[in-house]
Structure 1
Amino acid sequence: MALASSCARHGVSPRVSSSRATLVHGRASAPWDAPPAVRRAISAANRIQGKPYKWGGGHARLNDWGYDCSGATSYVLRNAGLIQGQMPSRGFLRYGRRGHGDWITVCAQNGHVFLLIAGLRFDTQGKYRQDGPRWRAYPRSTRGYVLRHPPGL
């Protein structure tokens, strides 16, 4: 617990000893072998997880009271140093490189985008509704989505 508290104070994600991030009480911890950009992405997602869904949220202001799907995705990738500015969901259709990434995958379609980071899903849509950015323990089909990833990740 001391490690998690210390990491939270310093804005970094604690690391765990596996190649997959772990999820405890809604917060993710990076695997020990995660690259720095992945650790920064997980830390950024942890900062906004639990905020409400807000259409257009995260676009006009970096630190907003709520986020939509593309605002949350932009926030995470921007704080990881992987994009500049923010993009609408359709903008992610051409982001980075094609295909599933080793560490980060952007799942985009016109109208929605979500992230797979170190094996966990970060999404604004729950099982039945939009409820804001959250780590999701259950999988989601990527059928109908274009998969992209940051170069090298």
Structure 2
Amino acid sequence: MRKTIAISLALAAALLGLGVPTAMAGGQTIPWGAGCASIPSGGIRTSASCGASLVNGRAIAPPGAPEAVVRVIAAANQINGRPYVWGGGHASFLSKGYDCSGAVSYALHGAGLLETTMVSGQLAYWGDAGAGRWITIYANAEHVFMVVAGLRFDTRDDRPGVRGPRWKMAAPEARILPAFVARHPAGL
């Protein structure tokens, strides 16, 4: 499986001209979909050093990602692009559309990290506090989204008429983060 993912990532990188993270002004790097940065011998790959790639709207897990991360990404890819439906994904994980918490719950469930759906307010208390190395869930009483291996999975409409679960290469806006608590699955 990892060999297949590594080959897929290498092919996608070659086709799209992706490589190691590019530096911005001030030396800040872009981890979103930019491939893997070199790490010291014995270092641990995290989403900061090896972000997922986004190809045709679908996420590709980076090489060396933990199996749970690969499965969260695969599950999120299954519902990526579905319509936004308030309450969608709560009566059953299988739904024609998903709201924010239904989408996040579906992806976490796909990796065996969550047994049942939760609303955003419940996800604000789920898992361990703080940002994770691979998965960070940002939740409050009204909305939830997550960042997985550097890619954002969110239902928020960034463009008029585009709503529903989608992968985005954009980092969460600094101005909105104080309204959310960061949580993560244990060990991730």
Paired with 1:35 and 1:27, the residues of 2 have a C-alpha distance of 18
**TM-score, structure 2 as length reference:** 0.72
113, 118, 129: which one aligns with 1:98: 129
Q: How many residues align?
A: 142
> Within the alignment, does 1:146 sit opposite 2:142 as a pair?
no
**TM-score, structure 1 as length reference:** 0.87
Paired with 1:120 and 1:126, the residues of 2 have a C-alpha distance of 16
Equivalent positions of 1:1-153 (< 5 A) are 14-15=5-6, 16=9, 18=36, 19-128=50-159, 131-141=163-173, 142-153=177-188
Q: Which runs of 5+ in 2 are unaligned?
A: 10-34, 37-49
One-letter amino acid matched to 1:135: W
Q: Percent identity?
A: 49
RMSD: 1.6
Paired with 2:75 and 2:96, the residues of 1 have a C-alpha distance of 14
Paired with 1:139 and 1:103, the residues of 2 have a C-alpha distance of 14
Paired with 1:128 and 1:24, the residues of 2 have a C-alpha distance of 19
Paired with 1:91 and 1:81, the residues of 2 have a C-alpha distance of 17
**Larger CA deviation: 119-128 vs 67-76:** 119-128
The higher radius of gyration belongs to 2
Per-residue CA deviations over 1:83-102 (Å, capped at 9, x if unaligned) read 11110000011111110000
- Which secondary structure does the structure 2 equivalent of 1:105 belong to? strand
Paired with 1:93 and 1:140, the residues of 2 have a C-alpha distance of 16
Once the two structures are TM-superposed, the CA of residue 128 in structure 1 deviates from its matched residue by 4.9
Q: Which runs of 5+ in 1 are unaligned?
A: 8-13
Once the two structures are TM-superposed, the CA of residue 62 in structure 1 deviates from its matched residue by 1.1
Paired with 2:82 and 2:159, the residues of 1 have a C-alpha distance of 17
Paired with 1:134 and 1:128, the residues of 2 have a C-alpha distance of 12
- Which secondary structure does the structure 1 equivalent of 2:186 belong to? coil
